[in-house]
Amino acid sequence: MPPRKVHTTSLCWVPAVDQQEPIQRLRVEHDRQIGRWPPHVNVLYPFVPIDEFEEAVTRLSHALAAIPAFDVAMCRLQRFTHGKKSLTAWLAPEPDAASPPDAWQTLQALCQRAFPHCTDQTDRGGAFVAHLTVGQFTQADLVDQLQASLERSWQPLRCAVGSLVLISRAGQDQPFLVHWRVPLGGDAPQRAAPPLERGVWLPDEPTERGPDASAAERAPLAEVDAAADPLRVTVAANTDATMSLVVEVR
């Protein structure tokens, strides 16, 4: 049987929960996927099915032993432009001065070598681009405004990339949950103890999206869901209407 990969799992890096607040406050305002995804950098997505996680962890543990943990700083907001009215804003987790500048590319290449059928993150050509999505936009000037605002107020966020997590969701309407944590540098993998958790920081009472949001975007966060297709997002409005947008690279 050929190797499998699915859009209900991911191998990714997730910042420590106690470092997520500034990221999550951005996502509450701008990211339709906040109810589904943790703040993350996808390393391999789509990834192997959940019933292959234990075997995958063994392979990953051997692969990640070859690279030590490294530190990153998120100082800049960047964007992908998918079309005239489709943009994704993201934070760049750049290795700090004490870490190799190509640390992300080395990490991703090691993982892809262990799972050679999971090539989606590099299929577009060029080097792997580590990105942490914080929002989707339909106008470039709105991204410009957010960039200008962050240049005035954003404090560089420094985080350690010490492990990758294997996450899975039960269905397209469910959030991703952490199943395994595999350290860089050769330490033993850690299976998440039940009940499984999302591993995210969220405000006590989610607020509405910004004043420029559409009626659909102002829907309660619990009703904002993405379809399994990584290039399709379905947004449920308060009136139960839906709309589909091609919006992002995950």
pLDDT of residue 173: 80
Q: Is the CB of residue 53 less than 8 Å from the CB of residue 166?
A: yes
DSSP 50: G
* Strands (DSSP E) found in the chain: 9-13, 41-44, 70-83, 86-95, 132-137, 157-161, 163-168, 177-183, 190-191, 224-226, 233-236, 242-245
User: The CATH number of 9-201 is which of 3.40.50.300, 2.40.37.20, 3.40.50.720, 3.90.1140.10?
Assistant: 3.90.1140.10
Tell me the mean pLDDT in the region 33-45.
Answer: 97
Cα 99 to Cα 57: distance, rounded to the nearest angstrom: 25
Task: Note the pLDDT tens digit of each residue in 169-178.
Answer: 998 889 999 9
Res. 209: pLDDT tops 70:
no
pTM (two decimals):
0.82
Q: Is the CB of residue 11 less than 8 Å from the CB of residue 47?
A: yes
Please report which confidence band the pLDDT of residue 250 belongs to, taking 50, 70 and 90 as the band edges.
Answer: low
Peptide bond preceding 22 in cis form (omega within 30 of 0): no
Q: Domain boundaries in the chain?
A: 9-201
Task: Note the pLDDT tens digit of each residue in 143-179.
Answer: 999 999 999 999 999 999 999 999 999 988 899 999 9
